Structure 1
Amino acid sequence: MNKNIHILVLATLVTACQDQKAINPAPSITLLPYPETKKGDVVDNHFGLQVPDPYRWLENDTAADTKAWVEAENEVTNNYFGQIPFRDAIYKRLEKLWNYEKFSAPFKEGDYTYFYKNDGLQNQSVLYRQKGEEGEAEVFLDPNKFSTDGTTSLAGIAFSKDGSLVAYQLSEGGSDWTKVVTVRAEDKTVIGDTLVDVKFSGLAWRGNEGLYYSSYDKPKEGSALSGITDQHKLYFHQLNTPQSTDTLVFGGPKTPRRYIGGYLTEDERFLIISAANTTSGGELYIQDLTKPGSAIVTVVGDFEKNHAIIDNDGDKLFIYTNLNAPNGKIVTVDASNPSPENWVDLIAETENVLNPGTGGGKLFAHYLKDATSLVQQYDRAGKLERTIELPDVGSASGFGAKTADKELYYSFTSYVYPPTIFKYDITSGKSELYKASGVDFDPTKYESKQVFYTSKDGTKVPLIITHKKGVELNGNNPTLLYGYGGFNVSLTPSFSTSNIILLEQGGIYAVANLRGGGEYGDKWHLAGTKLQKQNVFDDFIAAAEYLISEKYTSSEKLGIAGGSNGGLLVGAAMTQRPELFKVAFPAVGVMDMLRYHKFTAGAGWAYDYGTADDNEEMFKYLYTYSPYQALKEGTAYPATLVTTADHDDRVVPAHSFKFAARLQEYHTGSNPVLIRIETKAGHGAGKPTAMIISEQTDKWAFLFQNTGTSYIE
């Protein structure tokens, strides 16, 4: 080697070592005593079995003693995090990583092209618009001005067909309850009164005269965030009239349904009504709006399968369905006689799961092939025109547009491919880069691969493992295993700015596509529901065992995470195999399976879970795995950070409160078991950036501290 080059290389190495500083975990942290949580004497009788529920009082989230308990728990948790030596360094790194411009795919409404943009650390993304692609962009709607602390967010927006009118939803503190404001697009002047007490609703304009929306009767005062919301109702609101005079279109006492949605075909001829009592399966109805006073016609009159009208050509309806097709297909039928016996297959079921879209006079069949995207373009007669060439193996989204559009915009991402927007020419099939991500991440330094491991009963389950290239498989890598496994939800590859913290430290991020999800269609989903729910937990536990056996990590370096139904997953896994994991992150989880259906819209989850009221067999099954009831006295559990929020009115915080209280009572050993309770936040949607960064900082700090992992600045 040339002597001068040798000296230069040596100097570079020395400088690099000086620039990098290892911050070690605290050798010990003084954990404040857990709050003394009072115990009540509530006992429930389930089929002759007496089940104590000493922390029932924590279900009253507005009570003074509950609020005092929350404050005491947060004090313990905050004190713990204040002693982690690299917490501030992680926060600064995350803040730097987050601080880049982020764009959504653009969409056209009227004379304008709209898009969302976040300058970097803005709490909420801002909606901009411009005339044409080259016009000067102007702010159309800035949610950061909705509240001083960024906790009021934009929860949905809908434009009238000509783009002249806009309705948007506001969520305060992360609540599912929203308000709806209507404005003129040209000058942004408000029209009429704000609609209130709207929940689980889309917005659909009928011409420029008014819009359809859905809601429930508001629970009584004091229980707005936890009271049962059982009868959904579809209304039509005429502009410039009081909300009290809105027309009930469907639902209510005559046709009680738990979930009802309304939307229009693009030509505004048909109102489409979907109605369901659980999160899977539902009825389908249409109403011809060109005929005044026309009746609502039943397309599907049972709740067995999933269906949606995705388009129409005059009387011809295009319907997505998984009836007699577990992976989904597209059929056509005449609107005059739309029942299933008259359906004609247009795009047949395949071995891959279908999620269709339409645009530019075409049909887009978006398939999941082993949890990754495969997109094909068909003409209206069902003829395959092309398989769309995607930039890599990963997840594509956005294959939908208006009928007259000549192009559309789609986003593509994977665990190592930051979200990137492409413009797609519908006629030629060519994609071109529209907006690249500005995140500080070099994909060439990392790899992501899919493997298949064997679950307890022999089922092959996919697992995608992501890490820095060259990571040594020595069983000593800090690892986070993530899962969901429920409600037909598919976990597809997606980039996470937060995960960079783990990856650049040499850690491993793994995502398991468990049964109960939708990755392989209806059969895969059903294999993780009701009396087969244990399959989901077995799949997750087997994923952990695979990572350990293949030397990616060890039990002392392994953390598990999941939210909502995934929080239940983590709670079940850590109570069934506490020795297998070092760290657990159950977020906004369903932790009391005997009572989940008694809050908000929880009863709608019975399709996946069943309820303790169904029969004795179902009760005993739920009782066996329910995380709150499964905790055992005198057991050493993983270091656990339970997370929830005071405005979560989907999975009410009582689940996490009760689980954390009993966990702290029963747990032995030195691992901390904490609960982090966010204020003015809900189930997750609409969280301000500052809150997200703080939450993610604590997650990584907790993982590194409890796996004995140094943080390299």
Structure 2
Amino acid sequence: MNYLHSLGLASLIFATACETKQKKTPSMDIMPPKVEKIAKNLEMHDDVRDDSYYWLNDRENPEVIDYLERENDYYEKMTAHTKGFQDDLFEEMKSRIKEDDESVPYKLNGYYYITRFETGKDYPIYTRKKDSLEAEEEIMFDANELAEGHSYFNLNSISVSPDNTLATFGIDTVSRRKYTIYIKNLITGEILKEKIPLTTGGATWASDNKTIFYTRKDEQTLRSNEIYRHTLGENPDSDVKIFTEEDETFGTYVYKTKSKKFIVIGSYSTLTSEYQILSADTPKGEFKVFQPRTRGLEYDIAHYGDDFYIVTNKDKATNFKLMKTPDNKTGMENWKDVIPHRKDVFLEDIEIFKDYLVVSERSNGLNKINIKRWDNTADYYLPFDNETYTAGASTNPDFDSEVLRYGYSSLTTPSSTIDFNMRTKEKTVLKETEVLGGKFDKSNYESKRVWATAEDGTKIPVSMVYKKGMKNNGENPLLLYAYGSYGATIDPYFSSVRLSLLDRGFIYAIAHIRGGQYLGRDWYEDGKLLNKKNTFTDFVDASKFMISEGYTSNKHLYAQGGSAGGLLMGAVVNLAPELYNGVIAAVPFVDVVTTMLDDTIPLTTGEYDEWGNPNDPDYYNYMKSYSPYDNVEAKAYPNMFVTTGLHDSQVQYWEPAKWVAKLREMKTDNNVLFMDTNMEAGHGGASGRFEALKEVAKNYAFIFDLEGITK
């Protein structure tokens, strides 16, 4: 995303003039868009908020579309001098990616499944081979053909019937995450006539090869709230509703256990979960509640033998523990400990095999993989010797296998897919993602983890990567990224795209702030609800640490975050705008109070356990105290680049639009402020494999321009 900086215009003109490919600079007479203010008072708890840009929430209003298009036009004109550089960056990033690539095959029910890409094509081709990798390839779906005529296209959740003859799949051509389910005969190639709209895209087969279960969404809120049963050959209008999730703070979904014995309906909220189970052999039977929901009780289930294994926080197991119960006595009064709670180890997940239990853990922020034999003859950890890596179980559908497939990546090491024989302990690297172009050598880069001190004394881990030879002289440009919500952990991972930053002298850093679960469940609890401000101050303190240690300075420090991380960006520019030369806020959730008071907006009610319910005055006042839109002030802000999508179902486009309009009105600086709206996409941006790189090129060009880097 892009920019220019009117305040240091003379130096930027000089830097640009030195680059023969970039001769033009923005004209001083290009004026930012103006948007009408219409008085609107929002009253709650005897408090009145003036929201003069509230009217921008009507996407059917031509004046709203006109404003978004004028912002886009302003952005394009102001960054026209970087367009050639953006194109070069796109080609550079694309050139590192192997276009004719394919996934490592995995075997399921007699077939090897492979996803591959062809040169010059944006979308994947889904294939399979029967019994042997030497067998003839069957093309199940060529998404390139299906995407023709659509500006946005997403195919998800392919599910093959137990007899391997049919497959369900979901398609979204709008980017609102409203998928239509189709069914394909894999033998004849025919797409069956029945199609099921307004779903999550996924479907689960019963054992009879003719019954599927799927999740429908609410048309307005897009909450996943109903489970239906469909029988092949019947009109979807007559599908049987199996379950309705009445609690608006919950969503629901359906799946089959790895053992293939049970169909499972899950209900989830931020703090509470519940499951219902049904034998996959009796699809018209009645689902049985596994353990009734109890507020604050979280649990996940996996079936093995005659038992269910349960990852849960029962008995105040903050970091979760593993329990088990007979599959015919599932109430929690029957649950027994298998792996007890450990204060310093966060139990994230399990993978069950016939002879082995694989436990994914996190200790001191680092991924651990523990392998145990059911007969207790083996219990060991896979060895990892880095502090900036990511490792975790990959695709393991074969219940009987003694081979664990896992993935490994670090800030300096491309992603690898590895098969590990749990009996012999033999490790086979099946694939390491290729970085093309002949210029990448991992030994040219360094990574490390450092610890910043927050204002309350808490140590905040930060993972960093940079090119060797970096000096702590305060002159390095540094891009600091974070998310910090929903317990989502941003692990340090490799990115070939990121090399375009590193090779131009940037340090890239990830701040593992509170609100994620990098340091366990308490790390999350300490960054949500009435502790949410810790997330923002952690990022600010990590930024100050980067400056104090000489990694960068406020003239060269840049911040980036998206969605809830965009809220983070909005909060930190209100708290400490002087620390940053530039900020990238992607699809930012910045109008917190108004959105959380509107239960018609998608996802709002399910968010109460994350942010609080502002119908309660305590939460209202706390939210209002940090909500970026409500706290814009008449002061200097950094150079900023804001992105959104007109069809975004997660963070509605009007949040960033209102925020940008208010920033334009209030800010006292001459720094640039851009908003780029993708008029054809939603929360995830462009759908094509390489189209997304064009958006990254905009981001990079924005901060490169501020640094005077022109090639």
Which residue number corresponds to residue 12 of structure 1? Answer: none
Which residue number corresponds to residue 154 of structure 1? Answer: 155
Contact persistence 2:181–2:197 (CA under 8 A) = yes
Which residue number corresponds to residue 242 of structure 1? Answer: 235
Mapping for residues 166-565 of structure 1, pairs under 5 Å = 166-199=167-200, 202-207=202-207, 208-219=209-220, 228-230=221-223, 232-251=225-244, 258-276=250-268, 278-289=269-280, 293-314=285-306, 316-323=307-314, 324-350=316-342, 351-354=344-347, 355-380=349-374, 384-389=378-383, 394-399=389-394, 400-440=396-436, 441-565=440-564
Once the two structures are TM-superposed, the CA of residue 404 in structure 1 deviates from its matched residue by 2.2
Question: Residue 573 in 1 paired to residue 572 in 2?
Answer: yes
Which range is displaced more, 327-336 or 448-457? 327-336
CA RMSD of aligned residues (A): 2.4
- TM-score normalised to structure 2 length: 0.90
Within the candidate set 60, 63, 71, 1:62 is matched to 60
Q: How many percent identity over aligned positions?
A: 25
Once the two structures are TM-superposed, the CA of residue 661 in structure 1 deviates from its matched residue by 1.1
Contact persistence 2:613–2:619 (CA under 8 A) = yes
Which residue number corresponds to residue 47 of structure 1? Answer: 45
Once the two structures are TM-superposed, the CA of residue 313 in structure 1 deviates from its matched residue by 1.3
Contact persistence 1:461–1:514 (CA under 8 A) = yes
Mapping for residues 24-103 of structure 1, pairs under 5 Å = 29-30=26-27, 32-84=30-82, 86-103=85-102
Q: In structure 2, do the counterparts of structure 1 residues 543 and 460 end up closer, same or farther at CA, with 3 Å as the change threshold?
A: same
Which deviations, in whole Å up to 9, do the C-alpha atoms of 1:493-550 show, x marking residues without a partner? Answer: 2122221110111110000111111222321111111111000001100110111111
Once the two structures are TM-superposed, the CA of residue 111 in structure 1 deviates from its matched residue by 3.0
Which deviations, in whole Å up to 9, do the C-alpha atoms of 1:102-130 show, x marking residues without a partner? Answer: 43342223332112223455322222222
Contact persistence 1:102–1:437 (CA under 8 A) = no
Contact persistence 2:204–2:212 (CA under 8 A) = yes
Q: In structure 2, do the counterparts of structure 1 residues 386 and 202 end up closer, same or farther at CA, with 3 Å as the change threshold?
A: farther
Q: In structure 2, do the counterparts of structure 1 residues 481 and 264 end up closer, same or farther at CA, with 3 Å as the change threshold?
A: same
Which residue number corresponds to residue 108 of structure 1? Answer: 107
Once the two structures are TM-superposed, the CA of residue 694 in structure 1 deviates from its matched residue by 1.2
Return the alpha-carbon distance in structure 2 between the equivalents of residues 383 and 530 of structure 1.
45
Segments of 5+ residues of structure 2 without an aligned counterpart are 1-17
Which residue number corresponds to residue 135 of structure 1? Answer: 135
Once the two structures are TM-superposed, the CA of residue 362 in structure 1 deviates from its matched residue by 2.1
Once the two structures are TM-superposed, the CA of residue 685 in structure 1 deviates from its matched residue by 6.8
Segments of 5+ residues of structure 1 without an aligned counterpart are 1-20, 220-227
Within the candidate set 592, 607, 614, 1:605 is matched to 607
Return the alpha-carbon distance in structure 2 between the equivalents of residues 644 and 183 of structure 1.
35
Return the alpha-carbon distance in structure 2 between the equivalents of residues 296 and 257 of structure 1.
22
Return the alpha-carbon distance in structure 2 between the equivalents of residues 105 and 24 of structure 1.
42
- TM-score normalised to structure 1 length: 0.90
Which residue number corresponds to residue 3 of structure 2? Answer: none
Once the two structures are TM-superposed, the CA of residue 413 in structure 1 deviates from its matched residue by 1.2
Which deviations, in whole Å up to 9, do the C-alpha atoms of 1:40-89 show, x marking residues without a partner? Answer: 11101121121011111111123211111111110001112212263333
Return the alpha-carbon distance in structure 2 between the equivalents of residues 173 and 673 of structure 1.
28
Return the alpha-carbon distance in structure 2 between the equivalents of residues 416 and 709 of structure 1.
26
Contact persistence 1:370–1:462 (CA under 8 A) = no
Contact persistence 1:450–1:463 (CA under 8 A) = yes
Which residue number corresponds to residue 648 of structure 2? Answer: 648
Once the two structures are TM-superposed, the CA of residue 306 in structure 1 deviates from its matched residue by 2.2
Contact persistence 1:284–1:299 (CA under 8 A) = yes
Letter in 1 for 2:54: R
Letter in 2 for 1:237: H
Once the two structures are TM-superposed, the CA of residue 24 in structure 1 deviates from its matched residue by 9.7
Contact persistence 1:364–1:375 (CA under 8 A) = yes
Q: In structure 2, do the counterparts of structure 1 residues 408 and 179 end up closer, same or farther at CA, with 3 Å as the change threshold?
A: farther
Contact persistence 1:232–1:257 (CA under 8 A) = no
Return the alpha-carbon distance in structure 2 between the equivalents of residues 91 and 686 of structure 1.
14
Which range is displaced more, 550-559 or 320-329? 320-329
Which residue number corresponds to residue 13 of structure 1? Answer: none
Which deviations, in whole Å up to 9, do the C-alpha atoms of 1:258-309 show, x marking residues without a partner? Answer: 3011222234432322213x33422233234556634522414223132111
Return the alpha-carbon distance in structure 1 between the equivalents of residues 249 and 682 of structure 2.
25
Return the alpha-carbon distance in structure 2 between the equivalents of residues 391 and 107 of structure 1.
28
Which residue number corresponds to residue 710 of structure 1? Answer: 709
